[in-house]
Structures are given as structure tokens and as C-alpha cells.
Amino acid sequence: MICPRQLLDHETGRYICLPCEHRIGQDLRKLAGPAGFYAQLCLRIQPGRGGGDGPVVTRSSGHPMPRNEQILSLTAHGGLVSTLETWVEDWASYGLGVHGTGGRLQHRVDTAIETLRLNLTRAASRHPALDEFGREIAQIVRQAEAIISGERAPRRIPVTCPCGTVKAVTLDTDGFTCRGCGTEYGHSEALKLTPVRNAV
């Protein structure tokens, strides 16, 4: 069991409770579709517009770049779509879905989200890293909401696990599992790790 709430009798055998499953499903729904956060972020990729106060930056070809690089990092090929598809591949190893066949980025996002949503109930009792998945999706949703609403995103601080793995955390980081050694860090433990700039 990985859910912080005590599971009820009808939730026996699950890693998370029904409210956590519902919350993860809601977060996935917020990202998908033509009115979802991913589509809204893509509409903000316009030169000289978006969430920055600085001047428009231009490339050597003369075309201005979007001011908010966070939008690009979420909407480009290596961003949100890759995160979702990595989870789909991971879930497929547990018999929880099949990886999509490609296409445009919005289609790939929607396909991955649909696969994850349709298999979420089964994953609740079969996938031991469902808490990490839920935290990662919640973090993406918070980041997208902040960009869309115009809030400043929380400052990300790279910290070092004793094993040497570097992970970026914010003051609102729920916690994480180190990919290098498997150590689990809660919120307070993650904030106590050594910042990279001070690491020896």
C-alpha cells in the first residue's frame, strides 16, 4: 500500500484508495483534448507572447522565440508527451495497456492519457509505482495551470542524493523516489538534500 490514507475494506489489495484514483484520473482529464491544458499551452507558443516580462528573443533567422521556455519544455517532443508515453510503456510491462503508434503530438498525448485512464483502476492494484506516477502527473498539472493562469512557476533547485543522482525539487515538491538508488524521499527529506551548487 502506498496511499497515505487508511484503505477501507472494499479497497483491500490496492496500492491507492478510490479518492486518490479519482484525483489522478481528474488530473489526466485536465491535460487531454482540444480544451485541455496541453492544447492550451500549445496555443501560447507564439513569438513575443506568453508568460515573460522580458524582451522578445530572436534567433539568427529573425523569427522571434516564445518568451516562456517552460511552455516549450512541456509541449515539445521531449516534454509532457514523452513523460506520458514512458509511463504507458512502463504500465504495458504490467499488462496495463499498449504503447501508441505515433502521430502528431496532441494525438500522442490524448492516446497516452486515454490508455492510462482506461487502465488506472487495474493499475491501482497492480502497479507499485502508482504514487510516483500520481505525483508526476499532479506536478505537470500544477505547472501547466501556473503557466496558463500567468503565475510564476516555483523555482526548481537541483539537489543531490547521497548516491550522486541529481533531482530538481521545488518548495511544493511532494516527494520522490531516487532513480539512481531507489531511496524514497518525502517532502521534508527532499528539501533537506544538498543543493548541487553547494555539493562537494
The answer on pLDDT for 66 being more than 70 is: no
pLDDT above 50 (res 80) = yes
pLDDT at 60 over 70: no
Is the model more confident about 153 or about 185?
A: 185
Please tell me the predicted confidence (pLDDT) of residue 134: 92
HEC sequence for the chain = CCCCCCCCHHHCCCCCCHHHHHHHHHHHHHHCCCCCHHHHHHHCCCCCCCCCCCCCEECCCCCEECCCHHHHHHHCCCCHHHHHHHHHHHHHCCCCCCCCCCCCHHHHHHHHHHHHHHHHHHHHHHCCCHHHHHHHHHHHHHHHHHHHHCCCCCCCEEEECCCCCEEEECCCCCEEECCCCCCEEEHHHHHHCEEHHHCC
Confidence bin at 54 (pLDDT 50/70/90): very low
Dihedral sign, Cα of residue 63, residue 66, residue 70, residue 75: negative
Distances from the Cα of 131 to the Cαs of 147, 150, 168, in angstroms? Answer: 24, 28, 18
User: For 167-198, how does the pLDDT look when each residue is reduced to its tens digit (9 = 90+)?
Assistant: 888 887 888 888 889 899 988 898 899 888 64
Residue 46 pLDDT grade (very low, low, confident, very high; cuts 50, 70, 90): low
At 53, is the pLDDT very low, low, confident or very high (cuts 50, 70, 90)? very low
- CA–CA separation, 17 vs 8, rounded Å? 8
Least confident of 22-26, 34-38, 78-82, 84-88: 78-82
- Residue 108's pLDDT is what? 94
Higher pLDDT, 22 or 45: 22
The yes-or-no verdict on residue 199 having pLDDT over 70 is no
Cβ-in-10-Å burial (0-12, 13-18, 19+) of 23 comes to middle
Q: How far is CA 122 from CA 6, 115, 117, in A?
A: 19, 12, 10
Domain range list for the chain? 10-54+66-153, 154-200
pLDDT in tens, 111-128: 999 999 999 999 988 888
